[in-house]
Amino acid sequence: MPSASSRIVVIGGGAAGFMAAISAKAHQPGAEVLLLEKSDKWLAKVRISGGGRCNVTHHCAEPRKLARHFPRGEVFLRKVFAAWGQPQAVDWFAAQGVPLKVEKDGRMFPVTDDSATVIDALVSAARRAGVVTKLHCPVTRLLRADDRWVLTTPEGALEADRVVVATGGSPKDEGLAWLAELGHEVVAAVPSLFTFNLPDDPIRELMGVVAPNVRLRIAGTKLESTGPLLITHWGLSGPAVLRLSAFGARVLHDMKYEYTVLIDWLGAMGEVQARERLSSEASAHPNRQVANAEGFGLPARLWAYLIARAGLPAAKPLGGLGKKWTDRLLDVLTNDRYDARGKTTFKEEFVTAGGIALQQIYPLTMESHVAPGLHFAGEVLDIDGITGGFNFQAAWSTGWLAGKGAGQLAMAESLKSPDERRPGQLISRSNRLRSAHASHRTFTHRPHGLYRPSTRSRTEPLPARRPRAPLRRPEPQRVFHRL
Ligand SMILES: Cc1cc2nc3c(=O)[nH]c(=O)nc-3n(C[C@H](O)[C@H](O)[C@H](O)COP(=O)(O)OP(=O)(O)OC[C@H]3O[C@@H](n4cnc5c(N)ncnc54)[C@H](O)[C@@H]3O)c2cc1C
C-alpha cells in the first residue's frame, strides 16, 4: 500500500492543528500523522474561550456574508468557506456528539455550555483516527532537505513529507522568523479587539451602562461601526467598539492609540428624525421636564448625563426648549466627542492581526506557494475576525482544508516513482534552501526516520537522497504516543 510511506506533521495542538490532523487522517488514512504541541496541554484557548463555554462558530452559513466579519482575510476566506465552511463545521461537531445552539446575537455554543465537550470531541476524533501526538515538543526550525521537510525538535530532528503549521498568532514578528526564513512574507503583528481608554473622562462614572445602538466614528478616518456600546470604568467597550478596533487595528496603531471618538448615541436615526421626535413629544407634553422625556430609549443615567453635557437644565420644560437648546441637545446626541488615549486588551477574546501573508497561500489546500509541501492553518495566517465565533470558524475551516490538502497531495506523491517526485522547480528550491541552511547545521540519517545534527563541515555535500522503501516504514518513535 503506497500511502503507508507518507508522514504528515502538524505543528501546534490548538483548534486549527487538531482539525488539520484529523482531516489529514480522514483524507489519507494510510499516512502517519503526528501532532506536536510545545506546551503541556492541548487546546488551551478552546478551554478558556467564550467564558469556558467556547463560542464554536456563528450562525451565518453563507460564505460571502461570513467572510465579511474578517477585517483581514475576507477575500481569501470566501473561497475557504465555500469549500468547507460554517455548515460543515456545525455538521462535523454534531457528528462527534456536540450539537450546537444559537444565541440571540448569532453566537453558537455547544448545548452543554461547556468547552470541555468541544475538547473531548476533538481529542476523541484524533484518537479514533490514529493521530500520533506529543506534548512538550516545540518545533524551532524547518528545513527542506531533498524532497522532504526536516523539523528541529528537542527530541532531535524529524522528517516529514508534508507539514501543517498551526502555531497560532504571534504578538511579536520574531515569533515567525523561522517561517520567514523559508521565504514567507510576514505581515507585522498589531493587536486587534481592544477597548478604548478615556483617562479622567467623567463618562466613566456611568460604568456598566449600555447604549443599545450607537454609531461610532474615528475623527479624520473613514472608520465607522454601529451596535451596542458599554461604558466601563476605564472608557468605552462593547460590540461597536470591539468591531471598530478590529477593522481599525492598523490605522489606530499608526495613530499610537490617540484619537477622537465621535459618538452618535442615536445610531441610525439621524438628526432630522431625532428633531421631529423631540418636537412631537414637546407638542404632546409641553410641560414635561427634559429630564423626564422619553430620551430616545437611552438608559436614564445616560440621558441625564447627556442633557447635562449639553448644558441643559434638567427641569427645563420640553415646550420651552426653543431652537438654541434643541440644537445643542441634538449636537451632543448625534455628534458627541471623546479623546481616547491608549487601549485595553479585550481578554475575553484576544487575537492578533498579522501573520503569514495570504497571497502566498493556496486557499483550497492552504499550501504555501513559496515552500511546497508546507501548509498553514489558523491564526498564524494574516487572518482575524471580530468577536462572535468567527475566529474559531476560520481555524476549523483552514485546519480542515490544510489537512485535506496535505493528505491528498501526500497520497498523490506517494504513488509516484522517486524520479517523478518533486520535479524541476521544487528540487531546485530545496537545493537553494539546503545551501542557505548548510551554514547552520546538517543532518545525518537515523533509524525510524529521525535525524540528528551532524558534525560534518558546512562545505561537505549532504548525503545522497535516501532510497525510499514505502512498505517498510518503521513505527513512530516511542517518544510519540497515541492519544
Ligand atoms: C481568552 C480567549 C478567548 C477566546 N474566545 C474565543 C471564542 O469564544 N470564539 C472564537 O471564535 N475565538 C475565540 N478566541 C480566539 C481563538 O481562540 C483563536 O482564534 C484560535 O484559538 C486560533 O486557533 P489556532 O489553532 O490557530 O491557534 P492556537 O489556539 O493559539 O493554537 C496554537 C497552538 O500551537 C502551539 N505552538 C505554538 N508554536 C509552536 C511550536 N513552535 N511548536 C509546537 N507547538 C507550537 C501553541 O502552544 C498552541 O497550543 C479566544 C481567544 C482568547 C485568547
Give the start-to-end residue ranges of the domains of the chain: 2-190+349-453, 191-267+339-348, 271-336
pLDDT of residue 352: 85
pLDDT digits (tens, 9 = 90+) for 306-338: 999 999 999 999 999 999 999 999 999 999 999
**pLDDT greater than 50 at residue 420:** yes
pLDDT digits (tens, 9 = 90+) for 141-186: 999 988 899 999 998 999 999 999 999 998 888 899 999 999 999 9
pLDDT digits (tens, 9 = 90+) for 23-67: 999 999 999 999 999 999 999 999 999 899 999 999 999 999 999
CATH topology of domain 191-267+339-348: Elongation Factor Tu (Ef-tu); domain 3 (2.40.30)
Ligand 1 atom 26 nearest Cα: 378
The CATH number fitting domain 2-190+349-453, selected from 3.50.50.60, 1.20.1740.10, 1.10.357.10, 3.30.70.790: 3.50.50.60
Q: Do β-strands 141-145 and 148-153 pair in parallel, antiparallel, or remain unpaired?
A: antiparallel
Q: Is the CB of 38 under 6 A from ligand 1?
A: yes
Q: Is the CB of 379 under 6 A from ligand 1?
A: yes
pLDDT digits (tens, 9 = 90+) for 180-214: 999 999 999 999 999 999 999 999 999 999 999 99
All three cell numbers of 409, joined, read 497531495
Question: pTM score, two decimals?
Answer: 0.84
To test ligand 1's pocket by mutation, which of 151, 391, 480 has the most ligand atoms within 8 angstroms of CB?
391
pLDDT of residue 23: 98
To test ligand 1's pocket by mutation, which of 18, 49, 58 has the most ligand atoms within 8 angstroms of CB?
49
pLDDT digits (tens, 9 = 90+) for 350-371: 788 999 999 999 999 999 999 9
Please give the average per-residue pLDDT across 75-95, as a whole number: 98
pLDDT classification of 298: cutoffs 50, 70, 90: very high
Locate the ligand 1 atom nearest the alpha carbon of residue 398 and give its number: 26
pLDDT digits (tens, 9 = 90+) for 175-185: 999 999 999 99
Cβ–Cβ < 8 Å for 54, 109: yes
